[in-house]
């Protein structure tokens, strides 16, 4: 019996390669693969184009009501791309979020500097929408109070403290309130609402602080107004200098999510960038806060404690009552209270913490956008008002008389 060869000789392989049938089959497979690849790419391009045409994001900066799908497919646009789209030729024609939070005198022109006629005290508040809502309820509970306020979108403590310092001496307030939001504490490591709010960036800027030998040292942003931002975005050198400052000092800056490029036009790429940006932001946040609380080794922890202490000390020097409002929102339990309680008690700083008034662990205390329900705002406001009245020796506001039957 003749055994078959268990291998093919080089000459046999060469013959196989040179075989016309083999060449035809190989060429056909290559064409099939190329056609499949081109078909896949063409499908992706068609989907991309269809998404952009079906769900375009409004180009008018003053249009604040895009459809939910338009908003969804735009979340992954670069931060710079979003900010440039917010810019109108003037401040008034720019998006509302672009106008909010800037620390300049223009934002205080219409704010009262003394109690309104018939009122007995002026309360100046510095914070974000949470503190605005609470202090608005304080004003409703006691109509003898005149309210002066500065706030920024989801503003971090360095904004609130800077606003207080900026406004110091410009009013005759009896009480100053420093609002601190637990979920915004991480913003102590940022210099603008752009970098750590990538999905809906707010362009306003604020200093970043360092604590050195018990003193706060501020790193001032190169852009400090909407006008300066608009000018810088038209001047590549100024814009690059600002971006470089953020890259050096802002923990949340990332060139991939920040800088505008041609890929902003791709809806599918925007989805990928959004997923990456969220992962990046979550990673940065996890270095600052976990389910166990704030990282006490984070260098900005010392900054926050010094900030609260300096706020109270300077207010007392000015003859003004300081109040620190600790707002513990969803996902933060009582962590902000635990972080600052020793400092507040050691220095006898009046404060109100929301953790035992409207616990962050109870979802019923919050509405869909993350703010407290109105009833919770009212309860917190009542505590703030009680603290003010007790410290200043004020009597409670008269209860409105009931209408006759």
Is residue 98 pLDDT above 60, yes or no? Answer: yes
Rounded-to-integer distance, Cα 260 and Cα 66, Å: 21
Tokens matching residue 266: 């791709």
The HSE-up count of residue 349 (CA atoms within 13 Å, CB side) is 30
**What value does the mean pLDDT of the chain take?**
90
CB contact at 8 A, 241 and 222: yes
Segment 96-111 shows an average pLDDT of 87
Percent of the chain scored above 90 by pLDDT?
76
Q: pLDDT tens across 216-246, in order?
A: 999 999 999 999 999 999 999 999 999 999 9
Rounded-to-integer distance, Cα 50 and Cα 220, Å: 44
Task: For tokens 């890929």, name the residue.
Answer: 263
CB contact at 8 A, 274 and 75: yes
Q: pLDDT band for position 7 (50/70/90)?
A: very low
Q: pLDDT band for position 298 (50/70/90)?
A: very high
**DSSP string of 100-129, one letter each residue:** TT--SGGGGTTS-SSPPTT--EEEEEEE-H
Segment 118-140 shows an average pLDDT of 97
Q: pLDDT tens across 133-144, in order?
A: 999 999 999 999
Where is pLDDT greater, at 342 or 10?
342
Is residue 6 pLDDT above 50, yes or no? Answer: no
Claim: this prediction has a pTM higher than 0.75? yes
Check residue 117 and give its pLDDT: 96
Q: DSSP secondary-structure letter at 402? A: P
Q: How many helices and strands in the chain, by DSSP H and E? A: 14, 9
Q: pLDDT tens across 308-355, in order?
A: 999 999 999 999 999 999 999 999 999 999 999 999 999 999 999 999
The HSE-up count of residue 377 (CA atoms within 13 Å, CB side) is 20
CB contact at 8 A, 199 and 208: no
Is residue 260 pLDDT above 50, yes or no? Answer: yes
Q: pLDDT tens across 179-207, in order?
A: 999 999 999 999 999 998 888 999 999 99
Segment 106-114 shows an average pLDDT of 85
Q: pLDDT band for position 402 (50/70/90)?
A: very low
């Amino acid at each position: 019996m003749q055994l078959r060869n268990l291998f093919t000789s080089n000459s046999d392989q060469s013959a196989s390669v040179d075989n016309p049938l083999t060449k035809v089959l190989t060429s056909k497979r290559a064409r099939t693969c190329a056609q499949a690849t081109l078909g896949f790419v063409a499908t992706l391009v068609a989907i991309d184009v269809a998404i952009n045409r079906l769900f375009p994001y409004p180009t008018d900066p003053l249009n604040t009501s895009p459809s939910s799908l338009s908003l969804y497919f735009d979340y992954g646009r670069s931060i710079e791309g979003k900010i440039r789209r917010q810019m109108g030729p003037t401040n008034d024609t720019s998006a509302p979020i672009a106008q909010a939070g800037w620390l300049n005198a223009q934002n205080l022109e219409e704010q009262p500097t003394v109690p309104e006629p018939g009122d007995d005290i002026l309360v100046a508040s510095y914070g974000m929408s949470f503190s605005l809502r609470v202090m608005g309820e304080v004003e409703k509970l006691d109509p003898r109070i005149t309210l002066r306020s500065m706030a920024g979108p989801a503003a971090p403590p360095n904004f609130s403290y800077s606003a207080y310092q900026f406004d110091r001496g410009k009013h005759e307030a009896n009480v100053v309130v420093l609002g601190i939001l637990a979920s915004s504490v991480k913003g102590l490591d940022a210099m603008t609402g752009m970098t750590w709010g990538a999905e809906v960036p707010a362009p306003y800027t604020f200093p970043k602080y360092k604590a050195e030998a018990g003193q706060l040292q501020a790193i001032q942003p190169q852009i400090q107004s909407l006008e300066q931002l608009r000018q810088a975005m038209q001047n590549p050198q100024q814009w690059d200098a600002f971006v470089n400052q953020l890259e050096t000092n802002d923990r949340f800056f990332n060139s991939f999510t920040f800088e505008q490029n041609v890929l902003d036009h791709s809806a599918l790429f925007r989805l990928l960038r959004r997923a990456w940006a969220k992962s990046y932001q979550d990673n940065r946040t996890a270095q600052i806060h976990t389910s166990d609380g704030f990282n006490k080794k984070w260098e900005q922890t010392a900054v926050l404690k010094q900030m609260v202490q300096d706020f109270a000390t300077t207010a007392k020097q000015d003859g003004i009552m300081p109040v620190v409002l600790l707002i513990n929102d969803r996902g933060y339990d009582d962590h902000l209270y635990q972080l600052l309680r020793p400092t507040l008690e050691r220095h006898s700083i009046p404060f109100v913490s929301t953790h035992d008034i409207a616990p962050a662990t109870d979802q019923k205390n919050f509405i869909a956008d993350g703010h407290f329900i109105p009833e919770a705002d009212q309860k917190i406001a009542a505590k703030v008002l009680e603290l003010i009245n007790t410290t200043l020796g004020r009597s409670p506001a008269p209860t409105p008389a009931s209408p006759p039957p």
